[in-house]
């Protein structure tokens, strides 16, 4: 019979690096190397809310849990380190599924994290539940020597930049929700974006190292909503030109099929985990240089304005958009 | 309508101290004061598994979540600091219940943590679930300057000591499970132990400061099972005299009422969160001094032996006990 202790041994086996952790799994607490980590984030995925087992494999869910946390560390301009995993599992536990989850977490760490950082298992807790599976990940990280990049710090005149297209994950979700109404084979890029989002982990670390952004956040709840958080923290307004947002051909095709609005996905879709940053104009040439060197997709969305201008979003026709929803908020609709 | 962001504001309001946290709730990550925390623990409570809303108030659940994590930090000989809270809530959220949970967490922190430490809110995540409520707490702490006290370190000849009686929480659970078969009013101490366990937080910090134990663990899963973890980590055996275990009159009374075995509760009952430590004989006088000074209940259970002796537990009649179960393990019985 598989017990919680066997599962803990599996985690220890898969993430064997003790990087940054003096005492890992197997004591009452993990003991960290002194002074190593100064960033902490925690994200929870709930079956039926954040994922469905018929839409994502166990590996996909593990990937997404790790990606969401890696993205938070990247949004501080830092690099990731030790993680702590809590699983509430419907019993008896599906060991193959848990193994898949762990494998997906490791794949995300190996694929997304630059060599200068190492993701290691610090500990966690495994319990049973009568309800849906709940995955909670706490990830520690290291800010850059230049200090963490916060949400506050944007000033009027700064450019607003997002590193990569948004709305893909939400469009992928629309494909899955549409069932037989669409041919999933036509939307492989959107499905991949939903199942295996690729946060800008390397870019976040480099931007932090150069102290380039005046403020930064990751787009987890939707571009406009997360921009709103950044503006509120910085106490500024903004003007966003939505015609700068790239619309992927698969998103356009989905809109043709009446499955939703491509522009809405780009503006309000969550879970793309793109970095959204503000950059003083004088530093924009450096950003373009880095984008060229590292093959980043840099989208210049608009400008930080004075707080009394609020957040103005202009549509494809140059007219101000009325936003019905800014993005995803738990409980709001209930 | 209450959103996840409103609930996060409530947490920030209740735990306002920024002790050890440079940037707390409201950014992508918390930013910790450099070098401050080197201990990490994570514990999850699931409704229906770890608590029932008809048996514990929201305050009780918050208290227990905090107590379980405080106990892990104490078991390293350290002191607690910033916490990160993940709540998966059945929606729409019961705001009064969540407020009660947060209040219970704060009460536990205020009541159990000595003045030399401060428990502060670093961040977390609030999501919805279609299933039972899940509370996951990650707590950071500081090891003593003398270093963390690990599970490994016990050597043959060391005394085995538990700080306080065990089995009370399990007996309290038996009272609740018995329904109308018992009069709950007769068992207030056991019910209190189940609902509001009091881990040895202050004692753990002091023991760590003096480097007194050779090894330490907290009794969360049951005395014998947790002793087993300690012995395995230390690669030693032990001889335990169970007649040294105090049997509370309420436990004896419950046994009279055929609700279970008092000795079994003491040996295998979980969630008392007592510190279980091994102490070199030469340091026992210091332990007794401290126990006298700080009013600790010190129970000398037996002796660490060579590994080939295994774990021998002697019953009230002096004969070796055959243990059916060592304690609580998730999934074992499924």
Indicate whether A129 and A175 sit together in one domain: no
Distance, in Å, from the CA atom of B96 to the CA atom of B98, rounded to the nearest integer, reads 6
CA-based nearest residue in chain B for residue A275:
B28
Has residue A321 been placed in a domain? no
Residues A95, A207, single domain; the answer is no
B135 interaction partners in chain A (CB closer than 8 Å): none
A82: closest chain B residue by CA: B40
CATH number of the domain residue B202 falls in = 3.90.650.10
Q: Which of B113, B142, B171 is the last residue of a domain?
A: B142
Flag residues of chain B having pLDDT under 70: 1-2, 17, 324-334
Assess whether B108 and B174 both reside in one domain. no
Claim to verify: residue B206 and residue B129 sit in the same structural domain: no
Q: Residue B217: its chain A contacts at CB < 8 A?
A: 28
pLDDT value of position A329: 64
Q: Which residues pair with B42 in a beta bridge?
A: B138
Q: Does A331 map to a domain?
A: no
Query: Which one of B30, B331, B333 makes the best mutation probe of the A interface by having the most chain A beta carbons within 10 Å?
Result: B331
The answer to whether position B254 is within a domain reads: yes
pLDDT for residue B333: 39
| Alpha-carbon gap, residue B65 to A146, rounded angstroms | 36
Same domain, yes or no: B100 and B202: no
Would you state the structure tokens that stand for residue B95, as one six-digit string?
């705001």
How do residues A184-199 score in pLDDT, each as one tens digit?
Answer: 999 999 999 999 999 9
Q: What is the Cα–Cα distance from B291 to B305, expressed in whole angstroms? A: 25
Domain that holds residue A80: 4-142
- The pLDDT, as a whole number, for residue A247 is 96
Same domain, A255 and A116: no
Reported as a single tens digit per residue, the pLDDT across B56-114 is: 999 999 999 999 999 999 999 999 999 999 999 998 888 899 999 999 999 999 999 99
pLDDT at B47: 97
- Arithmetic mean of pLDDT, A115-124: 91
Q: In what order do the strands lie in the sheet with B237-241?
A: B215-219, B274-279, B159-163, B298-305, B237-241, B311-314
The verdict on A180 and A130 lying in the same domain is: no
C-alpha distances in angstroms, B134 versus A139, A310, B220, B231, B329? 19, 37, 19, 32, 18
User: Over 90: is that where the pLDDT of A327 sits?
Assistant: no
- pLDDT tens-digit series, residues A205-215: 999 999 999 99
B54 touches chain A (CB under 8 A): no
Residues A15 and A41 in one domain: yes
Asked if B140 is an interface residue toward chain A (Cβ–Cβ < 8 A), one would say yes
Candidates B162, B169, B164; CA nearest to B272 is B169
The single-letter DSSP state of residue A25 is: B
pLDDT exceeding 70 applies to what percent of chain A?
96
- As a whole number of angstroms, the distance between CA B201 and CA B71 comes to 6
Q: Is A320 a member of any domain?
A: no
Angle in degrees, CA A309, A315, A321, rounded to 5:
55
Q: State the pLDDT confidence band at A147, using cuts at 50, 70 and 90.
A: very high
Do B330 and A4 count as a contact with CB atoms less than 8 A apart? yes
Q: Does B182 lie in the same domain as B131?
A: no
Residue A47 phi, psi (nearest 5): -60, 135
Q: What was the ipTM of the complex prediction? A: 0.92
**Residue B146 C-alpha from the chain's centroid:** 23
The pLDDT tens digits of the residues spanning A33-70 come to 988 999 999 999 999 999 999 999 999 999 999 999 99
Mutate to test the interface with B, among A10, A23, A27 (most CBs of B within 10 A): A27
pLDDT at site B334: 32
Residues B115, B172: one domain? no
Same domain, B167 and B307: yes
Count helices and strands in chain B by DSSP H and E runs: 10, 12
Give chain A's domain count: 2
Q: Is B29 on the interface with A (CB under 8 A)?
A: yes
Instruction: Enumerate residues 268 to 327 of chain B having a beta carbon within 8 A of any beta carbon in chain A.
Output: none
Q: Which of B22, B92, B134 sits opposite A88 (nearest CB)?
A: B134
Q: Is residue A325 part of a domain?
A: no
Confidence of residue A333 (pLDDT cuts 50, 70, 90): very low
What pLDDT shows up at residue B324?
Answer: 62
Confidence (pLDDT) at A334? 32
Confirm whether A332 is domain-assigned.
no
How far away is chain A from the Cα of B72, in angstroms, using its nearest Cα? 5
Structural domain contains residue B214: yes
In a domain, A132, yes or no: yes
Is B136 in the same domain as B180?
no
């Amino acid at each position: 019979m598989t017990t919680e202790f066997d599962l803990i041994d599996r985690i220890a086996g898969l993430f064997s690096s003790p990087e940054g952790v003096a005492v890992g799994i197997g004591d009452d607490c993990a003991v960290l190397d002194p002074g190593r980590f100064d960033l902490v984030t925690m994200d929870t995925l709930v079956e039926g809310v954040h994922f469905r087992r018929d839409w994502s494999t166990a590996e996909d869910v593990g990937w997404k849990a790790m990606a969401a946390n890696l993205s938070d560390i990247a949004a501080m301009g830092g690099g990731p380190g030790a993680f702590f995993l809590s699983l509430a599992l419907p019993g008896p536990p599906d060991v193959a599924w848990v193994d898949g989850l762990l494998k997906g977490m490791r794949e995300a760490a190996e694929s997304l994290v630059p060599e200068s950082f190492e993701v290691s298992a610090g500990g966690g807790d495994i319990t049973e539940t009568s309800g849906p599976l709940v995955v909670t990940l706490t990830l520690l990280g290291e800010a850059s020597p230049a200090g963490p990049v916060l949400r506050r710090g944007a000033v009027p005149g700064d450019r607003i930049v997002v590193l990569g297209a948004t709305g893909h994950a939400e469009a992928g979700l629309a494909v899955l929700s549409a069932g037989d109404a669409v041919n999933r084979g036509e939307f492989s890029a959107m499905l991949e974006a939903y199942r295996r989002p690729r946060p800008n982990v390397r870019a976040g670390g480099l931007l932090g190292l150069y102290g380039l952004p005046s403020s930064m956040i990751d787009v987890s709840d939707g571009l406009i909503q997360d921009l709103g958080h950044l503006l509120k923290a910085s106490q500024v307004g903004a003007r966003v030109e939505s015609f700068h947002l790239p619309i992927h051909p698969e998103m356009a095709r989905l809109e043709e099929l009446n499955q939703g609005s491509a522009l809405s996905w780009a503006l309000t879709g969550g879970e793309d985990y793109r970095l959204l940053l503000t950059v003083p104009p004088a530093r924009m040439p450096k950003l373009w240089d880095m984008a060229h060197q590292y093959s980043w997709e840099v989208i210049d969305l608009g400008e930080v304005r004075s707080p009394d201008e609020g957040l103005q979003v202009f549509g494809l026709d140059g007219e101000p958009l009325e936003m019905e929803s800014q993005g995803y908020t738990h409980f709001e609709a209930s």
